[in-house]
Amino acid sequence: MKTFKVLGGGCRNCEMTAKAIAQAAKEAGVEIQLEKVTDMAEILGHGVMSTPGVVLDGQVVHAGGVPAPDQVRAWLDE
């Protein structure tokens, strides 16, 4: 199972990112754990200065905007 964290303050882009990950996982039949992180100290602890950020299995894979659908699908294929 892949573990995703969406880092951000709960803005529209953060919500869109979380929904895109959940939808892509459902379509691919991949089981994931998805957590939304709003604590600024934890977000900065990951080195993310621009949200939304995405952490996959402990590694920051994206920051600073809504990821493209192809990018989200690629994370699920890794």
Looking at residues 40-64, what average pLDDT do you find? Answer: 97
Report the alpha-carbon distance of residue 77 to residue 39 in Å, rounded.
Answer: 29
Catalytic residue numbers?
A: 11, 14
Q: Where are the domains of the chain?
A: 2-77
Q: Which fold is adopted by the domain 2-77? A: Glutaredoxin (3.40.30)
Burial class (CB in 10 A: 0-12, 13-18, 19+), 60: middle
Q: Which pLDDT value is given to residue 78? A: 80
- Kindly report, residue by residue over 6-44, the tens digit of the pLDDT: 999 989 999 999 999 999 999 999 999 999 999 999 999
Q: What is the pTM of this model?
A: 0.95
Burial of 73 (0-12, 13-18, 19+ CB in 10 A): middle
pLDDT tens for each residue of 66-75: 999 999 999 9
